[in-house]
Structure formats: C-alpha cells, structure tokens
Amino acid sequence: MNMQPVDWGVVAALFSLVAALAFLTRRYTRSVADFLAAGRSAGRYVITVSEAAAQIGAISIVAAYEKFYAAGFAAQWWDVPVLAIGFFIALTGWVIYRFRRTRAMTMAQFFEMRYSRNFRIFAGLLAFCSGIVNFGIFPAVGARFFIYFCGLPEHLNVLGAELSTFVSIMVLLLGVSLTFTFLGGQIAVIVTDFVQGLFCLSAFLLIFIVLSRQFSWTQISEALAMAPENASLVNPLRITDVEGFDVYFFLIAMFGSFYMTRAWQGTAGYNCSARTPHEARMGGVLGSWRVIIQNMLILFMPICAYTFLHHPDFADQVAAAQSTLTGIESEQIQKQMTVPIALSAFLPAGVMGILCAVMLAAFVSTHDTYLHSWGSIFIQDVVLPFRKRPFSQKHHLMLLRLSACGVAVFIFCFSLWFQQTEYILMFFAITGGIYLGGAGSVIVGGLYWRRGTTSGAWAAMIVGSILAVTGIVIRQEGPASFLRSLSLPAAAHSVLEHVLNLDGQRMFFVAMMSAIASYVVVSLLSRKPRVNLDRILHRGEFAVADDSAASSAPVQTGWRMLRMGKEFSRWDKVVYTVFISWILGWTGVFVVGTIYNIVYDVKTESWLRFWHAYLWMAFVLGTVTTVWFALGGLRDLRDMFRRLGSAVRDSSDDGTVLHDDNTAPGD
C-alpha cells in the first residue's frame, strides 16, 4: 500500500465536499431544461472551470502522461499551434456562438431544425454509439491508475468473500458518478465539476513546486539528453522515430481542432448551459486559456517520471517501480501505467493524497458529465423524435436518469471485455471518428453554409462512419489477419497493407477528408433552395430577447468575427485583447522558432533553457489564473443559484422541435 492515512484523509475531505454539493442541487432541478441545460443559467467562469474539469478526466491525464513520456517537451511545442487554433475558435465564437443562438439543447436537435427529423435520429444514434464506445475504456483506465498508484492488491477480502479490486473500483466510482448525475442533472454536473476543477488546478501548482524541489534542472536535462537522436524529448524537429506522436499526429490534430469544434457530444450539456450566447463565447475564451495553463503544468509530471526512471542518481530507488512494471503482462498497459507507478515511487506523503484526490475528481467530473451527455442524447435524439406527444416532466426526467444508468452498465461491461492495443489518444481518434468523421462537415455546413442540404449531410455521416468502423474492426483483429482472409494480387496486397497499418489518428484524417468531399459534392448536386439561417439562428424578426440585445446585430464573417460588439463590457474587451495578443505572440514564437530550427542546428542546451523558462512562466500564470477564476466562479455560482431559485419553468422547453409544415429545413 503506497498511501498513508494523511493521503486517504485528503481524498475523503474532497469527496465529502463534492457529495454535499451534489445533494444540494436536488432542490433546483425542477424541469427537463434544468436537467439538460442547467436552466441556461451559468456564467462564464462557472462554465470555464467546470467544462475544463469535465474534459480533463482521469483518462485524459493518463493519456497526457503517455504522450509526454514518449515525446517530452517536443510534443508541447507541436501542441502550441493546436492550442492557438483552439484559442482562435474561442475568440471568434466559431460554432458555439451560432449553436447557442439556435437554442437547441443537443447537437442532434439542431440537426432536426437544419436538416430533418430522420437525420436527427440517425445522427443522434450514431453520436450515441460512437460516444459510448469511446467512453467504454474510461472506467478501466481510471481503475488501473488507482490500483497501481495506490499499491492496492489484486483482490480484496470483504466479509470473507474475495473480490476483484479492478471490478470493485469500477463499480464504486461509476456508482458515485451516476449518483451525482441522478441528483441534479446538468446543475449537479456543473456545480461539482466547478469545485473539482478548482481543486485540480490548485493541486497541479502544488505538485509542480514539490517536483521542482525533488528534481534539479541539471538532473532533468541529463536524463532527457539520453533519448535517441531522432526521438528527442527536447527538440521538436527531431521526433521522426517517436512512436505514434510524430509531426503528422500533430498536424492532423490542428486540422481536427477546427473541423470538430463542438462536434463531440461528451460535454453536450455545456453547449447550451450558458446564460447568453455571449457568456458561452467568453466561457470558451477563458476555457481555452485554462487548458493552456493546465497542459503546461501536467507536462512536468511525466518529465520528472522519465528523469526518475533513467537518471543514474535514482538507480537505487527504481527497482520497486521496475518490478511492478515488468509484472504487467500487456505491453500497452505497461506504457499507460509507467508514469503513475513512477510517481508513486517518489512523491511524498500528503502529495500522494493530493494527486490521488485530483484523479478521483477527474474521474468523477468526466464520468458524471459523460453519463449525463450520452444518456440525454439517447432520450432526446433517438427516443423523443418518435413521440407524437411530449412526455410529462416526471416521466421525461425518469427516462433521462434510466438512460444514464444504461450507459454506466454498458461502459462497465465494455471495460471488462475490451483489450487495449494502442495509445489512448489513438483509440480516441478512431472511435470518435465513427461520429466525428462526418459531424464536422454537417455542423459547420449547417451553421454557416446556406447551400448545405439534407442529402449532403446523410452522405457525409455515412461515409465518415463506415471508414471509422472499418478501421476499428481491422485494428482490433489485426491487419495481418484481415489480409490473410483476402485473395489479392501482390501489388494490391502491398498497397492495402500500407493503408491498414495506419494508426488511429491517420485513419481518422482519411474519414474527415472523405466526409467533407461527400457533403460539398452531394449538396451542390442536390440543387435545393437556400436555407433561411435567420430563422434557425433566431436573428432579425426571429430574435429572442433573452439572448441579449445584440441578437439582431448583423452577422460578422471572416476576420470581422474577431471584432468586439456592443455585448462586450470594458473588462471583456481587456480580456479579449490580452488573449489575442498572447496567442498571436505564441504563434509567432512557434513559426519563427520552427523556421530557425530548420535553417540552423539549434543545440539541445538552448532548447532546455527555453523549456525551463517555459515551465516557470506556466507556474506564474497558473497561480494568477487560479485566483482569478476562483473569485469569478464563486460569484457566478451564487448568481446561478439565484436565477434557478426564482426562474419560472416552461414545461414545453424539453428539446422537442415543432415544424410549421412537413417539409424539413434542408429538404
């Protein structure tokens, strides 16, 4: 057992606080809109902290450990343009601003408004299937972290019965997450994720301080310099031999971050929980900033783990960690657990408990969010469209809760059955591609292109999903096994072998490009009349007063989208300007640094000095950000409860789309 009583005390304290807040939210959940969208009452800081916590789950932290242990600081360099694109998306309100204007509570509800009811059902079912398969390994990865990090035995003896620790942890943590979702729906999810998000960011800062005292920069530099020349952990232009995380991985991620904006529905409740479209936009801006800081701080843990396992100064302490790693039969699970096992070997008491509490918070915050999202999507986008009459509020809420329970049962069974054979991020890419491959085209085209048609949407979704599913099946069975089942000429066999050996990220790219081509070509061939986007986006004569006085403002396009409109307060303009300057500055550093590194041979020592300064800059900015977001978030939380307490509920606001006639908008 690696954990001391003080460590378990930290975990228990955080859990008790979060559980108490979850029970508090029960009194505010009085309608379907409350359960699905928190009554559209959340301010920017609550959304910023809560959604970031939901997105940085235990599995995401382990995935980051895998990536940074394999590619080190070099991976962070290539993440800069990915984050820059995300920042630009947030600053312009790309997708989220227009989606919030539709007042849809799920993306598939928007699909019915824009395309057709049948397409909504198909897209909702596809999103649901893709989501729960993608979600399927979350419990397994989280449970393994706690087993290896805490040093738990393989089996537990409970009242004379021997129980699997792996199974027991999954049941316990899924039960907690499901309880939070049951209690208050999206309100409970936002409130509990907010507290957990603040704790995680504060904990990352503390862990950074502890690790910087345990490992000198000299030791870190010497350890990183031991990496092979073309698998550098420091120089981002020398990563051609890094397994999985080469330059192409990051280039595809850059394109995908733009293409997939708000397409993934794992955090669907946050897309419609903002008080106004402008709050949603500013929440996205602040959230992008938080993600940048958070990633900077998480990076340091796998770097220190690599130093611990490779530097001769720690050779005497490594034996136990290496013994645990060699005892894991699966090579892929060994890679997943390398950093957690290393961290457990050198973190002091108290800090062990803090990191364990972080992972507990990350596990619960992601699972309750995903259980809520996927359960809601099944009812709202698969079941509800078949109804001729709306459900009663009580019946509707009961079905939403039962659906979340069904999702929990599925991912539990999937985690027991599925054998992981590749990096977590690769698994995310190919399983997410079942829906995301075509969804990006359908969403962007539906919100921004009047010529996009229902036929084009069907084509994009079908093509993207078929390619992704084919990739999953082949990779699970093995390309070699699949090829042996075919009788092909030698030349065709060679070409197909190359295609089938593409990793999950590259297969996802093929699916995205094929879907885009399908959407554009089929839409143009359909020759349908242009869609009235003003009606769908509630602009002009269709404006909704509650969505701010700027609802009827002229639509900005291109670079004009970066302008600050009347809805921006003085403080909004300051934040917006600072963030634009920040991202443009780092984009410049990336471009100039990359070109300079191509032209000149930059020494490893120079890169190490750069990364050292980068880490401490992250710590300073992280400290300021934590205090700033905590103060703003607590104020937003107070205002949110006030709105929910006095709001008049509309029973018809349940996700049902009413048409004036039988003709779908995109037909």
Q: Encode pLDDT of 207-246 as tens digits.
A: 999 999 999 999 999 999 888 878 888 888 887 777 777 7
Percent pLDDT > 90 in the chain is 16
Amino acid identity at 301: M
- Mean pLDDT lowest among 181-190, 255-264, 351-360, 467-476: 467-476
Tell me whether residue 75 is in a domain: yes
Chain-centre distance for alpha carbon 181: 18
Assess whether pLDDT exceeds 50 at residue 429: yes
Assess whether pLDDT exceeds 90 at residue 305: yes
Percent pLDDT > 70 in the chain is 85
Neighbour-count burial of 64, counting CB atoms closer than 10 A to its CB (0-12 exposed, 13-18 middle, 19+ buried): buried
Decide: 328 and 337 in contact? Cβ < 8 Å.
Answer: yes
Chain-centre distance for alpha carbon 549: 32
> What is the 8-class DSSP label of residue 274?
B
Span 194-213, average pLDDT: 88
Q: Which of 283-287, 465-469, 592-596 has the highest mean pLDDT?
A: 592-596
Tell me whether residue 272 is in a domain: yes
Q: Classify 198 as helix, strand or coil.
A: helix
- Amino acid 645: pLDDT: 79
- Mean pLDDT lowest among 332-336, 355-359, 550-554, 584-588: 550-554
Tell me whether residue 658 is in a domain: no
- Amino acid 117: pLDDT: 84
Q: Name residues whose C-beta falls within 8 Å of residue 57's C-beta, 6 or more positions apart in sequence.
A: 138, 142, 362, 363, 365, 366, 367
pLDDT band at 352 (very low <50, low <70, confident <90, very high): very high
Span 552-564, average pLDDT: 48
pLDDT band at 393 (very low <50, low <70, confident <90, very high): confident
Q: pLDDT tens-digit profile of 576-622? A: 788 778 778 888 888 898 899 888 888 888 999 999 998 888 888 88
Host H or E run for residue 17: helix 5-24
More confident call, 358 vs 84: 358
Query: Rounded to an integer, what distance in angstroms lies between the CA atom of residue 287 and that of residue 629?
Result: 10
Assess whether pLDDT exceeds 90 at residue 394: no
More confident call, 542 vs 642: 642
- Amino acid 146: pLDDT: 92
Q: Taking Cα atoms as reference points, which of 373, 451, 416, 368 lies closest to residue 189?
A: 368
Tell me whether residue 73 is in a domain: yes
Q: pLDDT tens-digit profile of 10-45? A: 999 988 888 888 888 777 777 777 777 677 778 888
Tell me whether residue 553 is in a domain: no
- Amino acid 551: pLDDT: 41
More confident call, 362 vs 278: 362
Bridge partners, 534 (sequence order): none
For 82, the token pair is: 């990915």
Q: What angle do CA 270, 274, 279 make, to 5 degrees?
A: 125
Decide: 113 and 308 in contact? Cβ < 8 Å.
Answer: no
Contacts 24+ apart (CB under 8 A), 593-598: 593/77, 594/236, 594/237, 597/235, 597/236, 597/237, 598/237
Decide: 363 and 142 in contact? Cβ < 8 Å.
Answer: yes
Tell me whether residue 365 is in a domain: yes
Query: Rounded to an integer, what distance in angstroms lies between the CA atom of residue 408 and that of residue 139?
Result: 9
Bridge partners, 157 (sequence order): 162
Q: Quickly tell me which residue has 């069975």 as its tokens.
A: 477
Determine the structural domain holding residue 19 and report its residue range: 5-418+569-642
For 17, the token pair is: 């606080």
Q: pLDDT tens-digit profile of 113-160? A: 888 888 888 888 888 888 888 888 899 999 999 999 998 888 887 777
Tell me whether residue 112 is in a domain: yes
pLDDT band at 486 (very low <50, low <70, confident <90, very high): low
Query: Rounded to an integer, what distance in angstroms lies between the CA atom of residue 268 and that of residue 374?
Result: 8
- Amino acid 545: pLDDT: 59
Query: Rounded to an integer, what distance in angstroms lies between the CA atom of residue 429 and that of residue 433?
Result: 6
| Number of C-beta neighbours around residue 34 at 10 A | 24
- Amino acid 550: pLDDT: 43
Number of domains in the chain: 1
Query: Rounded to an integer, what distance in angstroms lies between the CA atom of residue 442 and that of residue 601?
Result: 44
Q: Quickly tell me which residue has 């992972």 as its tokens.
A: 359
Decide: 26 and 180 in contact? Cβ < 8 Å.
Answer: no
Assess whether pLDDT exceeds 70 at residue 498: no
**CATH number, residue 276:** 1.20.1730
Q: What is the rounded average pLDDT for all residues in the chain?
A: 80
Q: Taking Cα atoms as reference points, which of 302, 340, 11, 301 lies closest to residue 144?
A: 340
Query: Rounded to an integer, what distance in angstroms lies between the CA atom of residue 24 and that of residue 315?
Result: 50
- Amino acid 558: pLDDT: 44
Q: pLDDT tens-digit profile of 529-543? A: 777 777 778 776 766
More confident call, 658 vs 516: 516
- Amino acid 664: pLDDT: 45
- Amino acid 108: pLDDT: 75
String of DSSP letters for 95-159: THHHHHHHT-SSHHHHHHHHT-HHHHHHHHHHHHHHHHHHHTTHHHHHHHHHHHHHT--SEEEET
Q: Taking Cα atoms as reference points, which of 189, 179, 217 lies closest to residue 73?
A: 217
Query: Rounded to an integer, what distance in angstroms lies between the CA atom of residue 521 and that of residue 453?
Result: 10
Tell me whether residue 559 is in a domain: no
Neighbour-count burial of 244, counting CB atoms closer than 10 A to its CB (0-12 exposed, 13-18 middle, 19+ buried): middle
More confident call, 273 vs 602: 602
- Amino acid 494: pLDDT: 60
Query: Rounded to an integer, what distance in angstroms lies between the CA atom of residue 9 and that of residue 244?
Result: 39
pLDDT band at 374 (very low <50, low <70, confident <90, very high): confident
Q: Taking Cα atoms as reference points, which of 202, 183, 255 lies closest to residue 53?
A: 202
Assess whether pLDDT exceeds 90 at residue 547: no
Assess whether pLDDT exceeds 60 at residue 67: yes
For 330, the token pair is: 């699966």
| Number of C-beta neighbours around residue 587 at 10 A | 17
